[in-house]
Structure 1
Amino acid sequence: MASFKINGGFKLSGEIVPQGAKNEALQILCAVLLTEEPITIHKVPDIRDVNKLIELLASIGVNVQKVGAESYRFEASQVDLSYLETEEFKKKASSLRGSVMILGPLLARFGSAKMPKPGGDKIGRRRLDTHFIGFQKLGAKFNFDNESHFYEVDATDLKGTYMLLDEASVTGTANIILAAVLAKGITTIYNAACEPYIQQLCKMLNRMGANISGIGSNLLTIEGVESLGGTTHTLLPDMIEVGSFIGLAAMTKSNLRIKDARVDQLGIIPDTFRRLGIQLEIEGDDIVVPEQESYRIEKFFDGSILTIADAIWPGFTPDLLSIVLVTATQAKGTVLIHQKMFESRLFFVDKLIDMGAQIILCDPHRATVIGLDRQTPLRGIKMSSPDIRAGVALLIAALSAEGTSVISNVEQIDRGYQYIDKRLNALGAQIERIED
């Protein structure tokens, strides 16, 4: 276990480059199982969740070579399905929610797979029904063993079909796509997720020889092919890091340049932060956040309090609501944060209240933030990181606060942000990592 000791109240300055996208990486890495041919992936983030998935792929028999600082070459020509029967596999896969993404490609290529209940953030119910219903519609049969806690899936004869997803699940859509690309016939997925990461996956698969149309929409058509080949793929910058750095700059009154942000792939993220009163300048593919002494939250046109809620793409991503919430604590004005998707994701606000923030937790899904307009700075406290996004929100709060804060359980932050302490210290932050 490790902790961060943060001396707050310092302005940051300089340039920072976002890491490769975590959520895209978990899908793209699993796609290497679809072919015997080599696949090279660039901009792979050095974070716990991604590294654990790479280790899992290697254990299954994928030949993994690191060919650059952020580049890997994968060759899945010697996959060992017997490894799925071992206790070691159960331990590794159950500790990582992203491990569920190996099911689709294994079913497509080998006709069967096993998977323990995956882990991940404790942010509320995160059901897997969309994945399994999609597999069933393609012809797979699955069973959950209550004693071993394994999902067992048989998919020896996958056939394309029409399906209307019960929810536009990103991982569910990706997993079904990965299973359908080698299925016989045509698969039509309606109410498909259409995030940039899904678009990236589809474009990569098409370069491998798949036949997917409708990319970027919620209606995907997949014509199954006999086999897929190798390719090279570069991950997008992580949009959650980009949003985190915007919020960090505003809270610490810093002047930051976010380099190579792929602004064209950020959707409404920049405009959502602008609604909090944060000035943003787009220069080429960079985002410049100038130093601001204050920022004012907009109201709706009728004068009512602004509400920021998460929604499926192209709506606002739920992974940034924690960042928006903490950023609003020092704004001028009031905002209602509505977290619709996960019922436990706002429970970290008690720590912000202990720091001096004015927040009313209305219920598990809604919090009203009354901005302090920098009239009362937050104060440093001891706290623990409950999940990846809340952990970074607390880190931002600590960097803006007066005094010293200690955040324990920073392994949660490490799951999604690479070298975050070193990268922010290079900008002028004072973060010390303490190994317990």
Structure 2
Amino acid sequence: MIPDIPNPDSEPVSFANDRDALSPSFLDHLQSTSREVHLRVEGGRKLHGDVTLKASKNAAVALLCASLLNYGVTKFLNFPRIEEVTRMIEVLESIGVKINWRDNNTLELRRPKKLTLENLNEEAARKTRSVLMLIGPLMHDHEEFDIPYAGGCKLGERTVKPHQYALEEFGASITATDKRYSVKVDKKAPGEMTLYESGNTVTNNTILAAAGVVEETFIQAASCDYMVQDLCYFLQKIGIEIEGIGTPLLRIRGLSRIKKNIEYSPTEDPIEAMFFISAAVTTDSEITIRRVPFRWISLELIKLKRMGIRYTISSPYKAANGHVDLADLTIHRHEGKLSALPDKLHPNVWPGLNPDNLPYFVPIAGIATGQTLIHDWIYESRAIYYAELSKLGIKVELLDQHRVHVRGPSELVKANMSCPPALRPASLLLIGMLAASGVSILRNVYVINRGYEDLAARLNLLGASVEVFS
């Protein structure tokens, strides 16, 4: 759903709820958002070999926003070339940031002394919810500015009130006018504060606001999730003092101005790891997933183990940022010997089961013997999209807008379908098609390209048969 838009003739109101290896041919698709891209999937094949994870989508967009704090040159190494990043780059370029892609997915950013916020690319901004995280860094050197309503996945009501409440503590006054948020800033140091909601983007926005305050900010109820940790590690590298990373209690002492030439590598994506795990299990295949931030999916792996999935993990090694533990994860064939869990599957804040990983249990539950209750309590609409898997033969019973029963084992069948307007549910259809015998068509995969880089080519290297066409 889109944000509530006030009548343009009405007075401004308080902050509104938000409802709501690259081949040249693939790069051409990536650069054209007006052109619908589709996938032709010949399913029923066993996957094999190994795949290396790309950097985290959710960390990447937060880091792009954080780059505005630095007046020096920021280089991000091994950065994901995905639609969500492209939209944020279009926004940053429109306000004057010089951005260049270098070899090996290195992204170089140079912000000007003065940003031209009046030129902000609204079309690109409205396609990503990440634009909200611009408020935190922009409020340090702008007393007044506008941000378009945020877009992104349509997952039901996704309130932006927590952003308002948090940024008010730093002196931001935010009102909703016609299709935009107007921000006025009378900057102050909040000292100690508690977040209204432990959301990831809310926490990131608050951290970015605190990064420009020289007095100490003590934040309670912060998200501990992987994207927040990655942001904190980057900020530490540019000189921000942060204590409590990975806990709900953060102490931050910022800087009034930062000018530093730095390089930083975001950590590999645990959600992408779960995509490939789900693809391997649903197709009953053995693959190795390299550079997995395994501690960030430890609960998911325990749940899978209790269902009968066998896997092995290599000895751990450090990510390029020097902080996160990685390992190579091999998923072994189960040969149909999976059982449904006796208790429900539901998401929670880290170290709970990641909300973006929960959907990948749906096709897995569909091939396990028994009935699984999946309770997606965070989003009002996402469980509804799970029912689309029934068109591929998975037995999904929608109980209400948050809960589904999945019964297995199911025999998957080919289908011709369009992607729902949400990244994870859309990628579930691709997983189901990989497992279904015959040729399936998945239409308008822009939403998948928002979060996954060159996915068709990488699946083909694992033995799949996925053709991109338009």
Cα distance in 2 for residues equivalent to 1:398 and 1:259 = 24
Residue 187 of structure 1, CA deviation: 1.5
Residue 245 of structure 1, CA deviation: 0.6
Q: In the alignment, what sits opposite 1:104?
A: 136
Q: Which moved more, 1:346-355 or 1:308-317?
A: 346-355
1:419 maps onto 2:467 in alignment: no
Q: 1:356 aligns with which of 374, 386, 393?
A: 393
The one-letter amino acid of 1:221's match is R
Cα distance in 1 for residues equivalent to 2:144 and 2:263 = 27
Give the root-mean-square deviation of aligned CA atoms.
1.6
Q: In the alignment, what sits opposite 2:243?
A: 213
Q: 1:43 aligns with which of 69, 73, 78?
A: 78
Contact kept in structure 1, 2:338 and 2:367, CA below 8 Å: no
Residue 224 of structure 1, CA deviation: 3.1
Q: In the alignment, what sits opposite 2:164?
A: 132
Deviations along 1:3-22, whole A, 9 cap, x unmatched? 11111101010110111100
Q: In the alignment, what sits opposite 2:269?
A: 238
1:63 maps onto 2:105 in alignment: no
Structure 1: gaps (5+ residues): 300-304
1:227 maps onto 2:261 in alignment: no
Normalized against structure 1, the TM-score is what?
A: 0.93
Q: In the alignment, what sits opposite 1:119?
A: 151
Deviations along 1:370-401, whole A, 9 cap, x unmatched? 111xxx52101111111211111110101101
Contact kept in structure 2, 1:41 and 1:235, CA below 8 Å: yes
Question: SS of 1:354's equivalent?
Answer: helix
Q: 2:291 aligns with which of 250, 260, 285?
A: 260
Q: In the alignment, what sits opposite 1:295?
A: 337
Deviations along 1:299-338, whole A, 9 cap, x unmatched? 4xxxxx3211000111111112211111110112221111
Cα distance in 2 for residues equivalent to 1:134 and 1:43 = 32
Cα distance in 1 for residues equivalent to 2:90 and 2:357 = 28
1:248 maps onto 2:279 in alignment: yes
Contact kept in structure 2, 1:62 and 1:78, CA below 8 Å: no
Q: Which moved more, 1:363-372 or 1:101-110?
A: 101-110
Q: In the alignment, what sits opposite 2:215?
A: 185
Contact kept in structure 2, 1:44 and 1:235, CA below 8 Å: yes
Structure 2: gaps (5+ residues): 1-35, 316-326
Contact kept in structure 1, 2:296 and 2:351, CA below 8 Å: no
1:166 maps onto 2:159 in alignment: no
Q: 1:339 aligns with which of 364, 376, 379?
A: 376
The one-letter amino acid of 2:175's match is N
Cα distance in 1 for residues equivalent to 2:337 and 2:140 = 51
The one-letter amino acid of 2:144's match is S
Deviations along 1:142-197, whole A, 9 cap, x unmatched? 2211xx32111122423233221121010000011101111252221110001122
Cα distance in 1 for residues equivalent to 2:58 and 2:98 = 22
The one-letter amino acid of 2:309's match is I
Contact kept in structure 1, 2:165 and 2:196, CA below 8 Å: no
Question: SS of 1:425's equivalent?
Answer: helix
Contact kept in structure 2, 1:106 and 1:112, CA below 8 Å: no
Contact kept in structure 2, 1:40 and 1:73, CA below 8 Å: yes
Contact kept in structure 2, 1:56 and 1:93, CA below 8 Å: yes
Residue 225 of structure 1, CA deviation: 2.3
The one-letter amino acid of 1:272's match is K
1:80 maps onto 2:115 in alignment: yes
Question: SS of 1:212's equivalent?
Answer: strand
Question: SS of 1:153's equivalent?
Answer: strand
Q: Which moved more, 1:352-361 or 1:406-415?
A: 352-361
Question: SS of 2:271's equivalent?
Answer: helix
Cα distance in 2 for residues equivalent to 1:276 and 1:49 = 34
Contact kept in structure 1, 2:340 and 2:365, CA below 8 Å: no
Change in 2 beyond 3 A, CA 1:109/1:292: same
The one-letter amino acid of 2:282's match is M
Question: SS of 1:10's equivalent?
Answer: coil
Contact kept in structure 1, 2:387 and 2:397, CA below 8 Å: no
Cα distance in 2 for residues equivalent to 1:404 and 1:47 = 26
Q: In the alignment, what sits opposite 2:424?
A: 389
Q: In the alignment, what sits opposite 1:302?
A: none
Cα distance in 2 for residues equivalent to 1:408 and 1:242 = 24
Cα distance in 2 for residues equivalent to 1:295 and 1:58 = 52
Contact kept in structure 1, 2:308 and 2:334, CA below 8 Å: no
Question: SS of 1:99's equivalent?
Answer: helix
Question: SS of 2:292's equivalent?
Answer: coil
Aligned length in residues: 422
Cα distance in 1 for residues equivalent to 2:123 and 2:226 = 31
Change in 2 beyond 3 A, CA 1:68/1:79: farther
The one-letter amino acid of 1:114's match is D
Contact kept in structure 1, 2:37 and 2:468, CA below 8 Å: yes
Q: In the alignment, what sits opposite 1:175?
A: 205
Cα distance in 1 for residues equivalent to 2:233 and 2:133 = 18
Q: In the alignment, what sits opposite 2:20?
A: none
Residue 298 of structure 1, CA deviation: 5.3
1:326 maps onto 2:349 in alignment: no
Q: In the alignment, what sits opposite 1:21?
A: 56
Cα distance in 1 for residues equivalent to 2:132 and 2:306 = 36
The one-letter amino acid of 1:294's match is G
Question: SS of 2:90's equivalent?
Answer: helix
Residue 47 of structure 1, CA deviation: 0.7
The one-letter amino acid of 2:379's match is F
The one-letter amino acid of 2:334's match is Q
**Structure 1 runs (4+) greater than 4 angstroms displaced:** none
